[in-house]
Amino acid sequence: MAVAELLQYVVTGLLVGGVYALMSIGLALIFGVMRVVNFAQGDFMMLGMYLTYYLAVAWHTDPLLGAIVVIILTLGLSLIITNVTTMVLSPMPRGIKTAYATRAFALGAVLVNEARAYAFLMALLLAAVVYAFLTRTDLGKALRAAADDPEAAAYQAIDVRRMHALAFAIGIALVAAAGGLLATYHPIEPTVAVNFIVLMFVAVVLGGLGSVPGAFAGGILIGLVQSLTLLVLPFQLQNVGVFIAFLLVLYLRPQGLFGRRLRSV
């Protein structure tokens, strides 16, 4: 196999992976702080895609949900969001046509799709901002403290409920942003959430549940696995490679590739 071909797959995987990484850190953040597996995450991504589609500039998420959300609740939300979107916006897939969606840079023999490249760079930038926020600012540190030990954080005058709401809001904002980036090259339809929520779960588990840098790495990895699967399996089976990687990691390293130990429940 030509090296250039392999390289092409790696580059494509990396570019897609960047956006996966962004949506996954949103999910990881929510899990890390609230210990909630947010099934509605994919739908917020889908909404983000639509928002981009309608060029909505300002948007607002009610963080009141934060403290009470549990897995099933989010699953319920997810159903409502998917189906209400179907009702309101019709199940017909849409797409945004931009000039750069079909253009590509040539790096030697490797072609880099422009839309994906921009989306990747934006995703990287946003992820860097989130990382800086979590590690450099007082609020970010408070958020991490609330994630590590809510009780101890509360004794340090950190409003844990507020942190939950904040984590939820940031998590949703990130995934919606990722949805916006994805919308530049992926068809937009109400049921798009299902396909991506699973990819997000996979990325988050790969990185170690709740770890934000882990989720980022997990997202990149998913993109790579997805792309490289094409080398051995036909296009339709692309995600089978991802799920098998997911199961393998779960069996061999349930704490994730880069995971920290979960608080025992």
Partner 1 sequence: MAASGRLRGWLPIALVVVAGGLLALALRERYHHRILTLVLLWATMGLAWNIISGYAGQTSFGHQAFFGIGAYVTVLLILKAGLTPWLGVLAGAMVAVAAAVLIGIPTFRLAGIYFALATLAYPLILRIVMDFAGYQEVAIPMARERPTLFMQFAEPRAYDLLALGVFAATLALSHVIEGSRLGYSLVALRENEQAAEAAGVDTFRCKMLAYMLSAAPAAIVGAVYAHAILYVVTPEAAFGVLVIVQTLVVCLVGGAGSKWGPVIGAAVMVPISETLDATIGDRVPGIQGVVYGAALVLIILFAPEGLYWRVRGLLGGRRPAPTSSAPAPPAAAPVTGGPAVIGGDLLVVGEVSKAFLGLQALSDVSFAIREHEILGIIGPNGAGKTTLFNVLNGFLVPDRGEVLLRGRSVRGLRPSAICRRGVGRTFQVVRSFPRLTVLDNVMVGAFVRDRQRERAEARARAALGVVALSHRADAAPTGLTTLELRLMELARCLAGAPTLVLLDEPLAGLSGDGVGVMIELIRRLRADGTTVAIIEHTMQALLRLADRLVVLDQGRRIAAGAPADVTRDPAVIEAYLGTRWLRHAESLRT
91 makes contact with partner 1 (CB under 8 A): yes
- Name the minimum Å distance from CB 250 to partner 1: 5
93 makes contact with partner 1 (CB under 8 A): no
Q: Which is nearer to partner 1, 187 or 254 (CB)?
A: 254
52 makes contact with partner 1 (CB under 8 A): no
For CA atoms 246, 220, 115, 48, give the dihedral sign: positive
Q: How far is CA 15 from CA 116, 118, 222, in A?
A: 6, 9, 11
What is the H or E stretch that residue 105 is in? strand 104-107
CA 224/CA 120 separation, integer angstroms? 13
Site size with partner 1, rule: CB under 8 A: 38
Give the chain's radius of gyration (CA, Å).
Answer: 18
* Token reading at 11: 């580059």
125 makes contact with partner 1 (CB under 8 A): no
Spatial CA neighbour of 178 closest among 20, 53, 64:
20
Among 250, 257, 258, 260, the residue binding partner 1 under the rule CB under 8 A is 250
Q: Which is nearer to partner 1, 20 or 120 (CB)?
A: 20
- Name the minimum Å distance from CB 202 to partner 1: 8
- Name the minimum Å distance from CB 86 to partner 1: 4
CA 79/CA 59 separation, integer angstroms? 21
Residues in the chain, overall count: 265
Footprint of partner 1 on this chain (CB under 8 A)? 37, 68, 70, 72-73, 75-84, 86-87, 91, 190, 194, 198, 201-202, 205, 209, 234, 236-237, 239-240, 243-244, 246-247, 250-251, 254, 265
